[in-house]
Amino acid sequence: MFEYLDIIGTLVFAISGALTAIYKKMDLFGVYVIAFVTALGGGTLRDILIGQTPVGWMHHTQYIYIITAGFFLSILFNRYLDKLRKSLFLFDTIGLGVFTLIGIEKGLQHELSPMICIVLGTLTASFGGVIRDILCNEIPVLFHKEIYATLCIVGGILFFLLQKTSISKEMLYICTSGFIILFRLVAVKYNWSLPAGTIFVKKS
């Protein structure tokens, strides 16, 4: 199930990036590049930081096929996909929870500290979107709109707290990813966000 969710998350991240590029009126090459970096940018950065080269997607070329499928789906059905934004948002949220776990597990495989593992989980889940927004000349959503990376961090803390209990690994994955998914859905529904930096600026 974990692998299937990874595939779904990659596909939806690719579609999300491709749709953003289409709305920015980029050419086909630009659309593909944005789809690629949205889906794999965070994982690529993670692998570079931990010294795992070639990076993961170079060993597992199925990710290229998944992104290519997302690219063609976005090109052919972008008008219909726009109407399915709520469904895409749900899968995007699932991808957030799954990719956080993948990053944490990568850190554990390299025997890194819990704090660094949480950082890697957050990078894996959210920095593809950061790269997408920068390339599309936008302020990354991560930094000004939604509670996004914060949930990855809190979810990572929950992961290591639960790890100290007798909970099974399967339940550990379900609880951690479920927490991230549930709270992102609630945060978006009720427009929760962190305070803007302007609260620290004195009014003239």
Q: Judge whether 203 lies within some domain.
A: no
Q: Judge whether 80 lies within some domain.
A: yes
Give the domain extent around 189.
2-194
175 and 158 in contact (C-beta within 8 Å)? yes
Q: How confident is the model at residue 146 (pLDDT cuts 50, 70, 90)?
A: low
Spatial distance between the Cα atoms of 35 and 93, rounded to a whole number of angstroms: 17
The chain-wide mean pLDDT, for the chain, equals 86
Q: Judge whether 202 lies within some domain.
A: no
Q: Judge whether 91 lies within some domain.
A: yes
> What is the structure's pLDDT at 180?
92
Q: Judge whether 132 lies within some domain.
A: yes
Q: Judge whether 204 lies within some domain.
A: no
- Over pLDDT 70: what percentage of the chain? 88
pLDDT over 80 (residue 119): yes
63 and 40 in contact (C-beta within 8 Å)? yes
- Structural domain count, the chain: 1
Spatial distance between the Cα atoms of 94 and 36, rounded to a whole number of angstroms: 18
pLDDT over 60 (residue 59): yes
Q: Judge whether 200 lies within some domain.
A: no
SS3 22: helix
Q: Judge whether 44 lies within some domain.
A: yes
Q: Render pLDDT for 18-57 as a digit per residue (tens, 0 to 9).
A: 888 988 899 999 999 999 999 999 999 999 999 998 998 9
Spatial distance between the Cα atoms of 120 and 135, rounded to a whole number of angstroms: 22
pLDDT over 60 (residue 198): no
